[in-house]
Structure 1
Amino acid sequence: MSQTLTVKVKLLPTKEQIQLLKQSSSEYIKVINTLIAEMVEEKKSTKKTTKGVFANLPSAVKNQAIKDAKSVFSTKVKKSKYAIIPILKKPVCVWNNQNYSFDFTHISIPFMVEGKSNRVKIRALLIDKNNRNFDLLKHKLGTLRVTKNSGKWVAQISVTIPTTEKTGTRILGVDLGLKVPAVAITDDEKVCFFGNGRENKYIKRKFRSVRKKLGKKKKVNAIRNLNDKEQRWMKDKDHKVSREIVHFAVENKISVIRLEQLTNIRQTTRTSRKNEKNLHTWSFYRLSTFIAYKANLVGIKVEYVNPAYTSQTCPKCSERNKAQDRQYKCQCGFEKHRDIVGAMNIRYATVVDGNSQSA
């Protein structure tokens, strides 16, 4: 078994190297867009090789662009029956693992310089307080994807890590929500709450308030920067919560984590009118994905269950009741926090296909 992750590395190019990056990324997306347009017109995948593609790129990079164009055509264009014809705009260029090298201080990449393919060493900065990324990059490296984010050049390196699945039958049920970001319960009824829903809502209200003021002043760039800052903050919260959940699972010798299948979660999640804005801007799918990949790294299997009535069904007698405020009560005498009830039912709910949809 193996797990593929992406490690981000900050690039510190010189002025000359910036020009090479701009030229290569522009040529790369131009090749992809041209090939997609040709495939759409012919209604079939291209048979072109690097010799038939005219671009100021090394042949290996041309070959990668052809592969990417074919992938976009088959997964997006043909799958949508030609209703979706994407046009790439964001600067990007991709090299396979045989055409670059990384020594933790520099990335050596081939560029076309004066008509010839030459390797150029670009200074790279690997920022990681816990040395996690440093350890990850000791494993097998995959494709290198260089792009520009918020005016800065970033290298995204895919890393394949071998994993070993844990044996056993201990199951952890995890319920995701807004007021309580996550609740987990083990087979032996150990319960743990993760995240701070009130803090999350407070921070998001602050972002909305500042965005509203900037909107009145028509400061579009400031709004865009603020949106990026909010997304980074949300992503950081998801990373922390998912890490805590997996640590809890490891401590309790869990072999399987069960989550809700995320299809239509926004239509089924418990919420009030005042929480509606938070519901539609919170990425449940990202948190679920973070839990899954962190669990796989330590050998814990992740399964997805049917979420129907998990918050209403009594774990003791199977009767359905609606929770009052934060407390769930049943006529049989069972009484618990409603999010714990959800986690208990998720723990033993029917397992469905793990390919859940985005939320």
Structure 2
Amino acid sequence: MKTVQIKLKPTKTQAKELKRLSEEYIRQANVLVQQAIREEKFPRVTSKNIESGIPSALKNELIRYAKSKHKQFGKCTFKRPMLSYNNQSFSVDSTAIRFPIMADGKAKKTAIKAVIPEELFVLLSGSKLGTLRITKKGFHWMAQISVPTEEKEFVGEGILGVDLGILCPAVGVVAADGKTQFFGNGRQNKHLRRKYKELRRQLGKQKKVNAIRTINDKESRIMRDINHKLSRQIVTFAAENNCGTIHLENLSGIRRTSRLRGKNKANLHSWTFYELSSFITYKAHELGIKVVYIKPEYTSQTCPSCGERNKVKDRNYHCDCGYHAHRDRVGALNIAKTI
């Protein structure tokens, strides 16, 4: 099973009701656990025993949730408000998720607007869905849906090395024959970043906070869609070239250790490399392709032919041994060959 996250866009009235329901859900779950602790066994209760203004579907789920957590941890207290629905209580369409909330004193299955990328909707539509969990993260309500994943065995023996960057989002090189593919348009991505940065600056002067949040959400959706398409292209390229393993750079901490300054450092901090890496990983696993994370130190400086290190000032790599290639291709090739 894997969990997909979807951003919800409830109306003010719906958001107020979600807040009330989630707090009451956790309160009732804590009541059951406290009773179980006092009686030294979990009480036999049904939805009829819970006197609370929440839908029966939620009452049944909170009983199951409290019982499982008490069995797992014994004495425990739930603090974070949430909601949980089984797969019979909700449905998903291209623009909304429908689940029961209270309206005019009655439980009613209500459509809550949701931001669902096309590729994710295709996955949800073709899968048997698990439980739905509703939580609030910062200012946003999020839906988490568990989806079963099939374990596939890919018999490819090759290795694809992938170098991630800013000017060129990704370069893939097949270790066996050096076949190379450049993915994405870094200049277009930088243009989008600059565009939305300028919009935020203008809106900030006008003190339009809600408009800035809307702009941030729109930019995130665009970049997420770009990363989904890039990751699919990379994984497809690996499968087409019989690569059963993808080598990716382990870029954790790159923002903290980078010595870049000014504009380049700002670009690095807005670079969604972690999201792209995670998309590549889960799409690869769906096809049975293994993902290995490689230390990226000196991969763009080391000559693949003689092993010497050379500092590179532009996009072209030159070595005294006569080897020359695009700097990102050199990095991807070294990543592919790293064990």
- Provide the TM-score with structure 1 as the length reference: 0.72
8 Å contact kept, 2:29–2:65? no
Unpaired segments of 5 or more residues in structure 2? 34-39
Q: 2:208 aligns with which of 202, 215, 219?
A: 219
Q: In percent, how many aligned pairs have the same letter? A: 43
Q: Is 1:274 equivalent to 2:269 in the alignment? A: no
Deviation for aligned residue 1:344: 0.8
Question: Does the CA-based 8 Å contact 2:62-2:84 persist in structure 1?
Answer: no
For the residue of structure 2 that corresponds to 1:162, the secondary structure is: coil
Which of 1, 4, 21 is residue 2 of structure 2 equivalent to? 4
SS at match of 1:314: coil
Question: What amino acid maps onto 1:175 in structure 2?
Answer: D
Shift of residue 157, structure 1, vs aligned partner: 3.0
Does the 8 Å CA contact 1:32/1:68 hold for their aligned counterparts? no
| Mapped pair 1:201 → 2:195 | no
- Partners of 2:132 and 2:248 in 1: CA distance: 32
2:251 is aligned to 262
Partner of 2:125: 137
2:316 to 327, 333, 338: 327
Q: Choose the corresponding residue for 2:145, options 141, 154, 157.
A: 157
One-letter identity of the residue aligned with 2:335: I
How many pairs are equivalent? 320
Determine the C-alpha separation between the residues in 2 that align with 1:157 and 1:317.
Answer: 50
Which of residues 156, 171, 176 in structure 2 aligns to 1:183? 171
TM-score by length of 2: 0.76
Tell me which moved more, 205-214 or 50-59.
50-59
Q: Deviations over 1:26-49 (max 9, x none)?
A: 23245548989xx9xxxxxx9977
SS in 2 for 1:255: strand
CA distance in 2, matches of 1:207, 1:130: 23
Distance 1:127 1:35, change over 3 A: closer
**In structure 2, distance between residues paired with 1:265 and 1:163:** 32
Distance 2:334 2:263 in 1: 27
Contact 1:142-1:160 within 8 A present in 2 as well? yes
Distance (Å, rounded) in 2 between the aligned partners of 1:103 and 1:274: 42
Offset at residue 250 of structure 1 (A)? 2.0
Q: Secondary structure at the match of 1:320?
A: coil
**Counterpart-to-counterpart distance in 2, 1:115 and 1:220:** 34
Partner residue, 1:60: 60
SS in 2 for 1:202: helix
Aligned to 1:94: 84
Matched, 1:172 2:170: no
Rounded Cα–Cα distance in structure 1 between residues aligned with 2:325 and 2:86: 53
CA distance in 1: counterparts of 2:236 and 2:150, whole angstroms: 19
Describe the SS at the equivalent of 1:172: strand
* Residues 262-292 of structure 1 deviation map (CA, whole Å, 9 limit, x = unaligned): 2212256685632211111122110000111
Offset at residue 168 of structure 1 (A): 3.0
The question of whether the paired residues in 2 share the 8 Å contact of 1:9 and 1:127 is answered with yes
SS at structure 2 position matched to 1:140: coil
| Cα pair 1:9 1:154 within 8 Å, conserved | yes
Q: Secondary structure at the match of 1:94?
A: strand
